[in-house]
Chain A
């Protein structure tokens, strides 16, 4: 089945550690996105990529890093520089780079910093 797969679904991290969240899609979509959601809030954009080997900062990129070495993969690293990393992280993709078209989401990864 085509879709977006995020892993792990749950992750616990000690303060000061980096952690990488995986996002893989087999939809042949060009554009991929990472969003963060805090309890009771809407989603905020962290990073996005319109094409392989290119990505742009979103509204809350500080303390995060990404790579886009393959079309189907867009991993997100939460670094120790991120002041408040506990959150729900959602990866999304869209067929093309245009400003139209439907966005689809993975099931999310819940990160808890102990």
Chain B
């Protein structure tokens, strides 16, 4: 099956800093989503981005499907950005999402 690798596994940021999270996948994909899991476990949809670039406030994402990677940018980080960021991809006709292991982000005041 497809391999989804996220890097870095852990990230500590000072409030106000910028960062880039990466997601590499081993096969072509039909769908790619980024999620933020908050400390209570809730998965929040950030981007549905099988290709191209999208922006939502301080967050933006870029997927280069031909090169099999996606990037999530966090600018001017805030303590509320803390949590785990997951990349997930779909490769089959059933729409099943395959998750990476996540990047744990801690933003300190």
Contacts and interface: CB of A to CB of B under 8 A. Distances in A.
Interface residues of A, number: 29
Given A41-B101, A58-B96, A99 B90 contact: yes
Contacts, number: 67
Given A100-B50, A102-B48, A107 B42 contact: yes
6 closest A-B pairs by CB: A42-B99, A105-B43, A102-B48, A99-B30, A43-B99, A99-B95
A74 interface: no
A45 interface: yes
Given A42-B86, A102-B33, A107-B41, 4 more contacts: A98-B95, A99-B90, A100-B95, A103-B45
Nearest to A103: B97
Contact of A42 (B41, B93, B95, B102): B102
B95 A101 contact: yes
B45 A104 contact: yes
A48 B100 CA distance: 19
Contact of A48 (B43, B93, B96): B96
Interface of B: 30-31, 33, 35, 40-43, 45, 48, 50, 86, 88, 90-97, 99-102
Between B43, B88, B100, the greatest number of chain A beta carbons within 10 A of the residue's beta carbon is seen for B43
Contacts of B90: 99-100
7 contacts: A41-B101, A42-B86, A43-B97, A48-B94, A99-B94, A101-B31, A104-B45
Interface string A20-51: 00000000000101010100011111001010
B45 A56 contact: no
A23 B56 CA distance: 29
A94 B41 contact: no
A13 interface: no
A108 B41 contact: yes
Contacts of B96: 33, 45, 48, 58
A14 B59 CA distance: 43
Contacts of A110: 41
A99 B93 contact: yes
